[in-house]
A and B are shown apart, each in its own frame.
Chain A
Amino acid sequence: MPGKGLSAYELVEAIHRGEIKGLLSICFNPIVSLPNNNMVREALEKLEYYVAIDFFLNDTARHADVVLAGALHEEEEGTGTTAEGRVVKINPVVTPPGDARTDASIIIELAHRLGAGDKFPYKKSEDIFNELRVASKGGTADYFGITYEKIVKNYGVFWPCPSLDHPGTPRLWEDRKFATADGKAHFNPAPYRPPSEPTDKDYPVVLTTGRVVSQYLSGTQTRRIGRLVDPYPEPLLEIHPSLAQQYGIKDREIVKVKTRRGEAEFPAQVVTTIRKDTVFIPYHWAGPKSANQLTIGTLDPISKMPEFKVCACQLIPTGVQAPPSSESKAYQSA
């Protein structure tokens, strides 16, 4: 297996420091999905060469020198592993439109053109899967005993599956043997670590970010679908009535939210379903509506997950009412 690389945010930081000068990305939209995205934008502008592969032109791709049209899940053959550890077969139902191609075929052709074709001798997706079987052999998530044929025959196979005659492991730890020194399961209480940016008198409110049900990740797919735009067309600032009253903020009033990294304006949504000391903004949008202009780039030391869920902000009411969210617009454009 290749060695451990950089996590997504660390990679962008390394670009910003000038240590990485070229980038090839697949389905990567860090200008929306990573925290502190004013820094992310600066980093992307520093890249000497950037090739973006994606199935739709995403918000980050405007920084790319070359954009290559990749393929959707429905256009590719391969496998997926579900949250329960079941390896399932994915079959293409349609072919990519126009000059779009599967991501694997793009990578393989790039490798050939760059003179590394011998390291990418794959003829079909199964060849790549077979390499994963060998690479994961003996590991925790052992795929060695899983073959395409076995997946299709059994409607999926659960890892670990160490040998060809092994049926897979639908439920882990049934043998009560754990990968610890004494072979027993251990509770692993996480020591509390305070957020890296506590609130103070300048930035007195906790900002948390997250998702809404009708949008998915950075919105590359879902911000293009009218029916998914309609239920929640724009990011709103969820705020408790008692905090709103403290600032004199009314429902749908535009509020400027400012942190040490950026500022942006959002219509307020006054609700009692949020803590009194915290405001919430969903992150799926780009540009001036992007919540990640505000978030902090501190990473969890183990998982490297950024602290999307907590940073300090100030609220500046503008006294201006936002126009009504126009739910019917997407229908009209259809």
Chain B
Amino acid sequence: MASEPVKNFNQEMEFFVDMQRCIGCRACEAACAECETNGEEPMIHVNYVDRAHSVQTTVQVCMHCEDPACANVCPADAIAKDSNGVVHSANTSLCIGCSNCVMACPFGVPKKMEAAELMMKCNLCYDRTSIGKKPMCATVCPSGALYFGPREEIQKKRPHSTPVNTFKFGNQTVNTKVYVMMPNGSTELRVH
């Protein structure tokens, strides 16, 4: 379902998530929920990793998979990836609220909004990124856990980290448009 690439979408600008920098302030959730296109619901989620033993939080934004499980399992063809690599939220006129995508996503991103009978998820602030602006969450993050910009810049700023976008869930490999920052030398993130 690829559409024409939007001219002003700047492919030089990429999304890097540095989970260990998340301080749990939830500014990203608040900024995301300001947006009326999401029905004022946050499409990014901050969670404790293991509250019983740590105060560390982590942030989960849609990873925009190259081969998105959410779109593959959708029986209504409501989820589309465009030629810029952005996986869009469910088309509201097609989504039947079945929650297949909610269960299929290995990152736990899509959420079923019960009141709306719709799945909703991050669309990389398409209204902003398609005209060369950063996603709202990346503009408010005070600790650099969410970074949207040129790769050279983040590599200069974080010389001990390397961006990774290959995830292994058991025998399943998932490649994504969004990167996570990992220790230098890492090539993939394995989830057992």
Contacts A227-B30, A331-B115 hold; do A213 and B24 have CB atoms under 8 A apart? yes
Check B115–A273 contact: CB distance below 8 A: no
Q: Which residues of B contact A214 (CB under 8 A)?
A: 26
Check A273–B26 contact: CB distance below 8 A: no
Check A273–B24 contact: CB distance below 8 A: no
Q: Which residues of A contact B52 (CB under 8 A)?
A: 251, 270-272
The smallest beta-carbon distance between B45 and chain A, in angstroms, is 11
A273 CA to B53 CA, complexed, in Å = 6
Which residues of A from 271 to 317 have beta carbons under 8 Å from B? Answer: 271-273
Check B115–A213 contact: CB distance below 8 A: no
Check A271–B51 contact: CB distance below 8 A: yes
A262 interfacial contact with B, CB 8 Å: no
The smallest beta-carbon distance between A330 and chain B, in angstroms, is 12
Determine the interface band of chain A, counting residues with CB < 8 A from chain B: 10 to 19
Q: Which residues of B contact A167 (CB under 8 A)?
A: none
Interface of A is mostly: loop
Contacts A227-B30, A227-B33 hold; do A273 and B54 have CB atoms under 8 A apart? yes
Q: Which residues of A contact B54 (CB under 8 A)?
A: 273
Closest to B51 in A: A271
A96 interfacial contact with B, CB 8 Å: no
B35 interfacial contact with A, CB 8 Å: no
Check B53–A231 contact: CB distance below 8 A: no
Q: Which residues of A contact B30 (CB under 8 A)?
A: 227
Partner of A231, one of B26, B33, B55, B115: B26
B98 interfacial contact with A, CB 8 Å: no
The smallest beta-carbon distance between B115 and chain A, in angstroms, is 7
A251 CA to B52 CA, complexed, in Å = 10
Partner of A271, one of B25, B42, B53: B53
Closest to A273 in B: B55
Closest to A272 in B: B53
Closest to A227 in B: B33
Contacts A227-B30, A227-B33, A331-B115 hold; do A213 and B53 have CB atoms under 8 A apart? no
The smallest beta-carbon distance between A93 and chain B, in angstroms, is 15
A31 CA to B57 CA, complexed, in Å = 32
The smallest beta-carbon distance between A114 and chain B, in angstroms, is 42
Could you list 22 A-B pairs, sorted by A, with CB under 8 Å? A213-B24, A213-B25, A213-B26, A214-B26, A227-B29, A227-B30, A227-B33, A227-B42, A231-B26, A251-B52, A269-B51, A270-B52, A271-B51, A271-B52, A271-B53, A272-B52, A272-B53, A273-B53, A273-B54, A273-B55, A331-B115, A332-B115
Q: Which B residues are within 8 Å of any A CB, using their own CB? A: 24-26, 29-30, 33, 42, 51-55, 115
Q: Which A residues are within 8 Å of any B CB, using their own CB? A: 213-214, 227, 231, 251, 269-273, 331-332
Known: A227-B29, A270-B52. 11 other contacts (CB 8 A): A213-B24, A213-B25, A213-B26, A214-B26, A227-B30, A231-B26, A251-B52, A272-B52, A273-B53, A273-B54, A332-B115
